């Protein structure tokens, strides 16, 4: 199995899951030149990461890759049983992280890291939401997570799943960008997730160099 990856990006999420599961994989770091090649565009239509190539499957979108891997190795216990009630909440948080939680974090990143390399932040994707607006927006979308995490360590059935990885991947950015200044259940949750050995292996911190 091959994972196409760039450090600190959304590609950390499937790598983190692979490390949690103890599955062997080949890591391919994607350079700017490589991402522009027609061969790479066959793997990802926009030349982005992550991409997972596994036997006949070529999959892009970090949350989809995590969901695929958690199901492929269901016996490892990173996804609830199909058709269970827990499965519904698992989907909810996987999609919430990708569609709702991530948007203000990305906007905040555009503001605080305006000098991100073009590879990581194409100028065409930058918009005009201010730092303060992004922070307030983030605080609103954290609210349901704060309520849940007040009494739970993890998002689904109070056990660690791929939904925690995708959500944790977004919150890790927020933490590193300084968006989580005040103490909250969300901050405690991501601080604790950050200590997981599998995440430490998967996330090579190059933020300081940006």
Ligand X SMILES: N[C@@H](CCC(=O)N[C@@H](CS)C(=O)NCC(=O)O)C(=O)O
Binding site for ligand X (CB under 6 A): 9-10, 35, 47-50, 61-62, 119-120, 122
Nearest to ligand X of 62, 161 (CB atom): 62
Nearest to ligand X of 86, 103 (CB atom): 103
CA–CA separation, 27 vs 69, rounded Å? 15
Nearest to ligand X of 47, 80 (CB atom): 47
Q: Give residue 205's Cα distance to chain centre.
A: 14
- H or E segment at 58? strand 57-60
- Which tokens is 123 given? 């100028």
CB of 63 to ligand X, least distance (A): 6
CB of 1 to ligand X, least distance (A): 17
CA–CA separation, 112 vs 97, rounded Å? 21
CB of 146 to ligand X, least distance (A): 23
CB of 182 to ligand X, least distance (A): 26
Residue nearest to ligand X (CB): 48
Residues 6+ apart with CB under 8 A from 54: 1, 2, 68, 72
Nearest to ligand X of 29, 84 (CB atom): 29
Q: Report the C-alpha dihedral over residues 39, 201, 112, 181, rounded to 10 degrees.
A: 150
């Amino acid at each position: 199995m091959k994972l196409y990856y760039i450090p600190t990006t959304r590609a950390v999420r499937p790598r983190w899951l692979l490390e949690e599961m103890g599955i062997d994989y080949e890591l391919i770091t994607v350079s700017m030149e490589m991402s522009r090649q027609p061969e790479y565009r066959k793997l990802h239509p926009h030349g982005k990461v992550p991409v997972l190539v596994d036997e006949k499957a070529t999959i892009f979108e970090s949350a989809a890759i995590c969901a695929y891997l958690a199901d492929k190795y269901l016996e490892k216990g990173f996804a609830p049983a199909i058709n269970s009630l827990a499965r519904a909440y698992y989907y909810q948080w996987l999609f919430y992280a990708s569609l709702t939680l991530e948007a203000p974090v990305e906007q905040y990143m555009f503001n605080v890291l305006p000098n991100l390399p073009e590879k990581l932040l194409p100028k065409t994707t930058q918009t005009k939401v201010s730092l303060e607006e992004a922070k307030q927006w983030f605080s609103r979308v954290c609210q349901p997570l704060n309520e849940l995490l007040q009494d739970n360590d993890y998002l689904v059935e109070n056990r660690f799943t791929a939904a925690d990885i995708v959500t944790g991947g977004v919150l890790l950015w927020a933490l590193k960008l300084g968006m989580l200044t005040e103490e909250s259940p969300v901050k405690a949750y991501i601080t604790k997730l950050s200590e997981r050995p599998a995440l430490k292996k998967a996330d090579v911190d190059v933020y300081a160099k940006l």
